[in-house]
Structure 1
Amino acid sequence: MAESLGIDNQVHKLLAGYGGEKSSEILKNFHGKFSVVDMFSHFWGLEEAHSCLDPEVPPSRKSKSESEKLRGDGNKAFQKKNLSEALKLYSLSILAAPHPPLDSESEKTDSQTVENGDVADENDYEALPLAYANRSAVLFELKQYEDCLNDIERAFQYGYPESLQHKLVKRKEGCTTAMDSSESRPEGLAMYHAVNPPVLADSNPALPAMSSSVKVAFSPTAGRYLVAQKEILPGEILVVEEVHSRCLYQQYLQTHCNTCFTRCLVPLPCPSCKLVVFCSQGCRGKGLSGQHSLECPVLPALGSMNTCLIIPYRIITKLPFATVKDLLAHFRSEKDSKSPLALGFNEKGVYDSNSYRTVYCLVTNQEKRDSRSLFTICAGAFMLTKLLIRSQRYFVDDSLKPFEPSKEDAIAIGSALFHHIMSDLSNGHRYGELLTSGADGTPDIQNIGSWISPTLSLANHSCDQAVITCNKGNLGIMQAIQLIQPGQEVTTGYLRGYGTQNPSLRKEILTNNYLFSCTCRACTEGWPTFNQLPDNYQLKCSQCSHFINRSDNKCSSCGEDFSMDTLTNLSLKTIDQEVGLAVLKFLRMRKDFNMSTIIARQEDLRVTMKVIETMDRYVIMPNKIYANAKAFLAGLLRNQRDYLKIRSGF
């Protein structure tokens, strides 16, 4: 658990400084039964922690010289006709160039700093228009005329030299002529294809993001979990929820919009730092007036952290400090006084996905964590609190003037961060982007970040999961991939599942990362992986689920007779025909299926869902055909989302 935070070296250094006996005494103050406030308060009182765990914030200042070097490298690539590399280098030059304050109220920014930390003067801004102008040249060659015109306008806006403006005027005229004469619009470098967002057919009044087909239940062993209230068919949408908080992995900060997470091949810069990009002025305005404004001063340190630390930072900063401080005491009291089933529901009995209450009441598994893990997680919260103070954007008064938080304030926010880190370790999801590129155009889901949503987090794990959970844009989606009977638990999967991972590996991952041992059928019955599953299948008794003997058409356990169709049972012959036909249609479809298909045909979905539903009703599990159909359906459903088509070479 310590390694999953990515700060184990700092923690080891801190404890090593105390020596074995002293460090053991310190760790005794970190126990699953202690409150997060008491543990964080103790940590905040460790003088050594304030020197050893004070996170360094490397400068992310704009640099005229760096911008000029990148532009020079871009020129070399452009001369060699390596347009994709030139576009990348010119964009990096734009990110590095000192940027004047934005005039628009929606994009207002602070004064800029350069290499030496002094406020930039007009001469430092010369690099920005030159970089925009050079990028416009690449865009013109790539026939991206609209983007080219936008960069030309920005070059003019930021002071492109008058002596060179004739070049841009000529290029602008060339764009206009090409756009007027072209019969068809040139293919974009990255074409975004939008799909209608999924919707719930009938939502649960108490849980608006969840279908009325599902309810929340509780048991001392399983905690809160989801149960089907009526029969749920494969493909049925069970949750549509706006993502509460999300963040990009560090390696995607300069390739994807920091606001909407869309990939940017022609990005706009943050005026203050060189670490993030935006896809449009609208997204930049939202970022600079919202989440990014609270992160920009400390992003060099924050962005390099594990996402299980960044998500809590974003959860806390969604609300002003004064608001969070007022809510914390109330919510902690609720956790002690309310029944588990009532946690997260507001005064009107509604589980509001956007509320801080719901995300605060997610499970943390604190009581299952050992002292070293709790100490490490607390260290992460300590470092985040330091960054919040250093940013001078969170601890501010009504006039937005920063102040030094009191010890009480620091402990209040730090203990909340401690709580949310534990919660994210147990409830976080990978944020996926669907894209297609290359010669074959095969779609691929690339994990570019992390996200958390309270309603989706209510589902427990099974290695033979009943639903898939994924993001589709800024929506978290839960969709059935099997037949779920009334009273049956609605389970998701934290792992790749029994088909691709053996029981010992699954047990190791679940025990170490999620702090529980799985008791699903796949684990208790020792189901084999896909390659070892039987190709044939056995039909099951509708009364007791044991197999039906083909020799006498009777159940091997209860003796139920399946010789003839009756009001209560279908005959073995009828069941055999129904299952066989569904299997045959599925196998034929799979044989002819085009793997480069991004959005599946409805007929392919129907055939796949039908074979799963039919085998769920009549066939004993596990078997290979059913497992493959279920995995195939999961892939089809995950691909029913917005996607990006990237031109080859980009």
Structure 2
Amino acid sequence: MTFMPDKETEELSILYANRSAALNHLQQYEDVLEDIRKCISLGYPRHLRYKVFERRARTLLVLKRNQEAISAFQDTITALDEANKFDKEKRQKMRTDSKLMLEILNKGLTLAGNPKDPEPLKRKPPKPKLPGKNNREYPAASDAIQIDYEESRGRFATATRDIKVGEMLLVEKPHSGVLLAEYSKTHCQHCFVKCPILVPCPKCPNVIFCSEKCLEAAQKSYHAYECHIVPLLWKSGCSVTCFIALRMITQNKKEYFTKIVSELDSKSSGVYKTDDYKNIYNLVSHEDKRTKQDFLHRTQMAAFLVKLLEVSGYFEGKPRSKPVDFDEIKSMAVDDKHKNDLALFGGLILKNLQVLQFNAHEVFELQCPRPKPGKNIIKHTGKSVFLAGAVFPTLALFNHSCEPSVVRYFCGPYIIIRAVKNINKGEEVSENYGPIFTTVPKEKRQAELKEQYWFDCNCIPCKDNWPTYQEMTENYMRFK
């Protein structure tokens, strides 16, 4: 389905119909209905429609949606008139059965339905919510924390009250995120969840989605312009961070940026919103500390990305209709009408690349191997797998500690942080950027943080040179 060159064909409608039959056997009834809806919209052959109409009717019965089932059985009877290739006796039997079901339903009798009472497959977990009150200024965070500022440390989070271990302190959707290329055929491009039942892009074979809702959201924003440039981005070897720098642009219309460009250097006042580009623009970028070589490297990447933006049709608001290749990029002359746009958006992408170096996060999922027959799954250890990169504006304000006070995990695209220890009122609420004292020696931690984040860590484990777990002896271990 993903690799079909033409996604608006009768052949594709038959594939959806066949998949609905398979899903029916798997008792994934909500997905059955969705595939039947899709196959009809794609022009499923009229002489075969009685099959999917009857399947829809019986699926609705299982889901106890009797009023809709009545309409579906009526559609089945009508469709049988066009089933000229269907065996006459079987056609008459189906007509009789459908009429009988209509009589029963119209009399208001309750049907037993499926004795197993199956639940539909949940493609994604529900949107997580903070259990208590949200911070008024930083709504992604709990009111148990506030964001403070010091000249030497920048912005950081502190506790407004005593926080108990396990408390949920932040739930945030990324401002922008990009799935890694190797998961483009197994996970949703929009929300990053695994796709047991994929929805292909109707215009390209490059990505998949978990639902029509995610497909529609992507097509209305970034994927409209990325659809035909994704393969070139992957072939170029650019990192996921570079791709995020581009998506931070493509997910909004050109007019959005031309409207706010004069306000970018002024920090937002009032509510700190996740979808406000100004909040990303004003995150730490260490522009004043960069070398000429660093600027040259990032400027070259920004020039490549803004050229892709131009060829995608973004500046005109008209997405291109065919894939782009390197030869087309190389042969493109500078279009005078795009000079101002190239300068503006090239500059924004360059800024994005600098900001993302210090503020992007990995998005990961926990994967557990399937146990061998007769083996207990508990004996198998799971592992965190790097799926995507993303930037979370509120979480980016939290400072690092080699002994963090929170842990982070993901629920679809949402990042969640919880306290891993009791935090007293007024204490800093810190996260971890990678190296942690329990497994990485001080010298290595300091070197990693200096190289990647350009700061010297002064957390307590670094100041007091705490030993790693492996270096500890029984004499140092104290539990209470």
Is 1:345 matched with 2:255? no
Alignment match, 2:302:
381
Alignment match, 2:251:
318
Match of 2:338 among 390, 406, 413: 406
Q: How does 1:98-177 map to 2 (within 5 A)?
A: 98-100=5-7, 125=9, 127-136=11-20, 138-139=22-23, 142=26, 144=28, 147-148=31-32, 150-151=34-35, 154-155=38-39, 157-159=41-43, 165=48, 172=55
Alignment match, 2:210:
279
Normalised to the residue count of structure 1, the TM-score between the two structures is: 0.56
Summarize deviations over 1:171-211 as a string: whole Å, max 9, x none: 949975995863115587x6557467231634433333333
* Amino acid in the other structure paired with 2:285: T
Q: How does 1:549-568 map to 2 (within 5 A)?
A: none
Shift of 1:236: 2.9
Match of 1:396 among 285, 295, 316: 316
Alpha carbons 1:269, 1:277 under 8 Å: kept: yes
Match of 2:157 among 215, 218, 226: 226
Per the alignment, in what secondary structure is the counterpart of residue 530 of structure 1? coil
Per the alignment, in what secondary structure is the counterpart of residue 232 of structure 1? coil
Is 1:489 matched with 2:428? yes
* Amino acid in the other structure paired with 1:132: Y
Per the alignment, in what secondary structure is the counterpart of residue 478 of structure 1? strand
Alignment match, 1:423:
355
* Amino acid in the other structure paired with 1:528: P
Alignment match, 1:197:
128
Distance (whole Å) between structure 1 residues aligned to residue 241 and residue 14 of structure 2: 39
Structure 1 residues 154 and 316: CA distance shift in structure 2, 3 A: closer
Is 1:306 matched with 2:239? yes
Question: Relative to total residues, which structure has the larger helix share, 1 or 2?
Answer: 1
Per the alignment, in what secondary structure is the counterpart of residue 97 of structure 1? coil
* Amino acid in the other structure paired with 1:396: E
Alignment match, 1:521:
460
Alpha carbons 1:140, 1:175 under 8 Å: kept: no
Per the alignment, in what secondary structure is the counterpart of residue 402 of structure 2? coil
Distance (whole Å) between structure 1 residues aligned to residue 278 and residue 397 of structure 2: 14
Summarize deviations over 1:484-543 as a string: whole Å, max 9, x none: 334432211011511122223323321222122222222232222223334466xxxxxx
Per the alignment, in what secondary structure is the counterpart of residue 309 of structure 1? helix
Distance (whole Å) between structure 2 residues aligned to residue 177 and residue 409 of structure 1: 52
Alpha carbons 1:429, 1:451 under 8 Å: kept: yes
Provide the aligned C-alpha RMSD in A: 3.5
Shift of 1:260: 2.7
Shift of 1:144: 4.5
Distance (whole Å) between structure 1 residues aligned to residue 206 and residue 443 of structure 2: 41
Structure 1 residues 468 and 173: CA distance shift in structure 2, 3 A: closer
Distance (whole Å) between structure 1 residues aligned to residue 37 and residue 149 of structure 2: 59
Structure 1 residues 476 and 147: CA distance shift in structure 2, 3 A: closer
Match of 1:372 among 289, 293, 306: 293
Summarize deviations over 1:565-599 as a string: whole Å, max 9, x none: xxxxxxxxxxxxxxxxxxxxxxxxxxxxxxxxxxx
* Amino acid in the other structure paired with 1:384: L
Distance (whole Å) between structure 2 residues aligned to residue 468 and residue 515 of structure 1: 23
Distance (whole Å) between structure 1 residues aligned to residue 261 and residue 217 of structure 2: 27
Q: How does 1:204-243 map to 2 (within 5 A)?
A: 204-243=135-174
Distance (whole Å) between structure 2 residues aligned to residue 325 and residue 174 of structure 1: 51
Alignment match, 2:398:
459
Per the alignment, in what secondary structure is the counterpart of residue 406 of structure 1? helix
Alpha carbons 1:235, 1:481 under 8 Å: kept: yes
Summarize deviations over 1:329-353 as a string: whole Å, max 9, x none: 3323x3xxxxxxxxx332xx33233
Distance (whole Å) between structure 2 residues aligned to residue 258 and residue 413 of structure 1: 24
* Amino acid in the other structure paired with 2:248: I
* Amino acid in the other structure paired with 2:423: I
Q: How does 1:83-102 map to 2 (within 5 A)?
A: 94-100=1-7
Per the alignment, in what secondary structure is the counterpart of residue 95 of structure 1? coil
Shift of 1:307: 1.7
Per the alignment, in what secondary structure is the counterpart of residue 308 of structure 1? helix
Alignment match, 1:6:
none
Is 1:433 matched with 2:365? yes
Alignment match, 1:635:
none
Alpha carbons 2:171, 2:414 under 8 Å: kept: yes
Alpha carbons 2:303, 2:346 under 8 Å: kept: yes
Distance (whole Å) between structure 1 residues aligned to residue 294 and residue 177 of structure 2: 24
Alpha carbons 1:200, 1:240 under 8 Å: kept: no
Per the alignment, in what secondary structure is the counterpart of residue 367 of structure 1? helix
Summarize deviations over 1:20-73 as a string: whole Å, max 9, x none: xxxxxxxxxxxxxxxxxxxxxxxxxxxxxxxxxxxxxxxxxxxxxxxxxxxxxx
Shift of 1:126: 5.1
Per the alignment, in what secondary structure is the counterpart of residue 141 of structure 2? strand
Shift of 1:426: 0.4
Alpha carbons 1:426, 1:514 under 8 Å: kept: yes
Per the alignment, in what secondary structure is the counterpart of residue 265 of structure 1? coil
Unaligned runs of 5+ in 2: 63-111, 322-334
Match of 1:354 among 252, 272, 275: 275
Per the alignment, in what secondary structure is the counterpart of residue 302 of structure 2? helix
Alpha carbons 2:221, 2:250 under 8 Å: kept: no
* Amino acid in the other structure paired with 1:423: V
Shift of 1:273: 0.4
* Amino acid in the other structure paired with 1:495: G
Range moving further from structure 2, 360-369 or 231-240: 231-240
Alpha carbons 2:312, 2:320 under 8 Å: kept: no
Range moving further from structure 2, 438-447 or 453-462: 438-447
Is 1:530 matched with 2:469? yes
Normalised to the residue count of structure 2, the TM-score between the two structures is: 0.74
Is 1:263 matched with 2:194? yes
* Amino acid in the other structure paired with 2:261: L
Q: How does 1:599-618 map to 2 (within 5 A)?
A: none
Shift of 1:160: 5.1
Alignment match, 1:448:
387
Structure 1 residues 411 and 507: CA distance shift in structure 2, 3 A: same
* Amino acid in the other structure paired with 1:530: Y
Is 1:363 matched with 2:295? no
Structure 1 residues 282 and 174: CA distance shift in structure 2, 3 A: closer
